Amino acid sequence: MKKPLSLPRICIAATGETPAALRTCAEAALRQSRFVELRLDWLKNPSDGIPLIKTLLNSAARSAQVGRPVLQATCRRRESGGRFDGTVARQLEILEMAARGGCHLADLEIESAEAAGPAAVSQLHGAVRLILSWHDFQRTRPLEGAARRLRRFPADYYKIVTTATRQSDNCAVLEFLEGANATEGEAGKWIAFCMGEAGVPSRVLALSRGSAFVYAAPNLGSSAAGVVRKAEDRSFPLAAPGQLDYETLQKRYCAARLTARTKLFGLLGAPVRHSLGAALHNAAFRKLGLDAVYLPLLVSDLRDFREAAARYPLAGFSVTIPHKEAILRYVERADRWVRAAGAANTIRVRRERWEATNKDVEGILRPLRKTYRLAKGARLPKNFQAVIVGAGGAARAAVIALRAMGCRDLAITGRDPVKVRRFAGAFDLDPLPLEELGRERFDLLVQATPVGLWPNAAESLLQGKQIAAETVFDLIYNPPETLLLRLARAQGCRVISGLEMFLAQAASQFEYWTGLPAPLRTMRQAAWDELQRLDHTATP
């Protein structure tokens, strides 16, 4: 009879194409958690990983860091999304060898179970705690068919993993989990989530909906959104698309502490991987002890998202490119900043009604008030002259902010003369050819194009005499000191980093959603910490 087993709620997947690489990855994982999956199918000969099991158990047993280890063996066949090219019979033999070697659990895909038959699966189940799994690497379809296939075989756990192509896919998986756990005799037996970047919310929320556990990658080399990078970026390869690293899942999202009552917020856009929003807002929630989480919400279909937002349900969300204008078709209420800008970057949900505002405007207003020492509502001098470089959404927010501060002498320039003239006509501005920038000096220059944004941080749209202003405000926040700001500083200009705008609009969003003062110091530190993880910024 199998002994009772206490499982942590997050299992770290260890990968490696050689026994030495797999051992290195597994040892790193065991320094973070005592629950580790060994992907034996990554080895050319999976049986070469069997001796590693006792080595890991013995070395981990001597360590006081994480406690008694729990190991899961997986040897997934290529036909089912793995790397093992052997027969089903050999696959089951390897998993039984892993069980005799000390592994506590084994993952067997349903295709292999059906090919092997009930007797062979029962034999494996007698030797080890069995996870019977079903994967769809293309999409998310109705899950009951997969569940019926899994239930035909007795197992300790059943796992359903799909691929999210839209946010409603996450909702379908999370709702399935809630229903399966409400089924008599099946509570705590199901594991379910979605793969892919769009599936990240399901990985974060699965435990709160009853998943027995979820999977993560080791911590090294993670990106801004917490998605582990490729091996050449100094990390361990991902076992599955969209997998988060352990620290991100456990510490940033606090996945093991979330419940069905946790308020959900997020960033709507495409892409969303680059944003610092998850780091800032989740740090702020933790600081104030709020039961809330902020998620990346990769979306291409807004109609689907409107449905998914109600199913999650979302309490509010930020909006980034390319949805700031299109989102207005779905809101019930918009404030004066939205009406002026024709775009929204923040939505809150009240009684299923979407209320929109544009905190990009506030993100520009706050740093400018601080720079010019103006109280809220105070106006700039009558002869104040400003120029905005760019003709997109950020430039629009800058026009609205400056006019709200009383600036009337306002010029616009940019790379595309046609767009500049169209923008100037829409906002009654003076168009200025980019090549003429520098013939007169301005009080303020606002850089509102993406030129200089990481990873193209060595670029600057303006050079030398073109930077003709007392103060230069670059709206790019990543990196926080762009090449333009360095050039401006060298010419004696006062500079404002786009990080100040980002922090101001994030704080304003937080206050709009929660009604509480934003913990600015915590949010600023979270932003710097996240930028330093990317290895392309200076210390604060």
pTM of the model: 0.91
Residues 6 or more apart whose Cβ sits within 8 Å of residue 319:
267, 268, 269, 327, 344, 345, 346, 347
Question: Using omega within 30 degrees of 0 as the cis cutoff, is the peptide bond preceding 118 cis?
Answer: no
220 pLDDT band, cuts 50/70/90, is low
Distances (CA, A) of 47 to 21, 37, 40, 72: 15, 15, 8, 15
Residue 324 is a catalytic residue:
yes
| Model pLDDT for residues 462-500, shown as the tens digit of each residue | 998 999 999 999 999 989 999 999 999 999 999 999 999
Average pLDDT for 430-440: 92
Calculate what percentage of the chain has a pLDDT beyond 90.
84
| Model pLDDT for residues 95-107, shown as the tens digit of each residue | 999 999 999 999 9
The chain-wide mean pLDDT, for the chain, equals: 92
533 pLDDT band, cuts 50/70/90, is confident
SS (H, E, C) 290-309: CCEEEEEEECCCHHHHHHHH
Q: How many CB atoms lie within 10 A of CB 314?
A: 23
How many CA atoms within 13 Å lie on the side-chain side of 333? 10
Structure confidence at residue 66 (pLDDT): 58
For residue 445, give the 3-state DSSP assignment. Answer: strand
**Both tokens assigned to 4:** 């009772």
Average pLDDT for 3-9: 84
Residues 6 or more apart whose Cβ sits within 8 Å of residue 355:
331, 332, 333, 334, 335, 347, 348, 349
For residue 342, give the 3-state DSSP assignment. Answer: coil
Catalytic residue among 324, 359, 370, 376: 324
